[in-house]
Amino acid sequence: MHAMSNDHAPVQADLLDLPPLVDTADALAELVSDLREQPWLAVDTEFLRERTYYAQLCLIQVATPTGRVACVDPLGALDLSPLWAVLADPAITKVFHAAAQDVEVLLQASGAVPEPLFDTQIAAALSGLGDQVGYARLVEARLGVTLDKSASRADWSQRPLEPELLRYAGDDVRYLAELYPALRDELAARKRLAWLEEDFARLADPETYANPPAEAWRRVRGHHQLDGAGRGLLQALAAWREEAAAAADRPRGWLVRDELLLEIARRRPRNAQRLNKLRGSNKLDAATRETLLARVNATLDNPPAQWPTVAARPQLEAAGEAAVDALMAVARLAADEAGVSIASLTARKELERLVAGETDLPVLQGWRGELVGRRLRAWLAGEIALVGRDGGATLA
């Protein structure tokens, strides 16, 4: 990655030095010895999963508070257990941006979640920088550095790594190490660090990355349109596909595409003649066809006592929809007052559930409850009003 900035000449000078590729036991031992002494580390990964079920970890980048940047090569015969121990060390905070995918890949590779962790994307939302802000945008907004993302689709499994790829990879932690202290200190000064604890705890929970086959059907787009029997059939088919894809280490869609799974659940073909009429079925091999038909017939012949369910969206009358509109306005005012993104507080679907009478909702709990939940309850109870004033809206 190349960085260009007229206002950060010292940073530009640093970029002349490529981060080293750590690919020997001696180099790793020296790096780990340094990492163990640090209070926090900026961490990122490069991985591929276009041709596999499991992500292939191709590079691990780290940066320290002292400005050191290094890239560790996991593709050779290097024993990475010393690095895994550092990433699991509870005395060292691991800093990521948009941590979920990196944490999932590192959990798969090392068997443990890097913790404690800090996610600058989540922190940025509480600093008024918008919800799910991208790394390049955050670096530009806070550091005035424009990052070149032209290598974002590179094949990181290829060796040797070209210098521009090493520079790109290094930049993903180099600037992260600059961003973290400022974001942390800003949120600490505003007494908002505690707000992050719940989200960070979720990211550090291995169960967050669990992928039970019985739940795979919920990720198939369009499953809400199916009836009970259709959901039961989709559940059986998606569970089989999940297990088969994991066993073969191939992408799910290479076995059966989502669209075909959904159509089978809708049409429920019991024989090859009917299956062959479905769009996309001609791409299936004979073994997959037989397996799908066997699953269809077994599931339809022996339906479970209760088909899987989906959470129904509340059906509100006009007055209820108007109440949701008002609650969204209350939430927007609270977000603006606090300088955070509305998406970090709540969403319309959640407020529809609140109007429908549900109370076990994130917007009513923790820091969100303090910031906006109390006001939402107060508006619903008629204790405060949303009024127009000077061409805008306010609470009274």
Choose the catalytic residue: 23, 46, 73, 115.
Answer: 46
- The answer to whether residue 185 is catalytic is no
From the candidates 73, 172, 178, 242, which is the catalytic residue? 172
The angle formed by the CA atoms of residues 358, 361 and 367, to the nearest 5 degrees, is 140
Length of the chain: 396
Question: Under the phi-then-psi rule, with left for phi > 0, alpha for psi from -120 to 50, and beta for the rest, what region is 339?
Answer: left
- Cβ(300)–Cβ(270) under 8 Å? yes
CA distance 251 to 237: 15
Task: State the catalytic residue, choosing from 102, 104, 199, 242.
Answer: 102
The residues near 381 (Cβ < 8 Å, ≥ 6 apart) are none
Q: Supply 345's token pair.
A: 């507080």
At 133, list the tokens: 């802000």
Catalytic residue, candidates 23, 53, 119, 168: 168
Which of 44, 73, 115, 171 is the catalytic position? 44
According to DSSP, the β-strands at 146-147 and 3-4 are antiparallel
For residue 151, give the nearest of 132, 171, 121 by alpha carbon.
Answer: 171
To the query of whether residue 227 is one of the catalytic residues in this protein, the response is no
The answer to whether residue 54 is catalytic is no
Q: Which are the catalytic amino acids?
A: 44, 46, 102, 168, 172
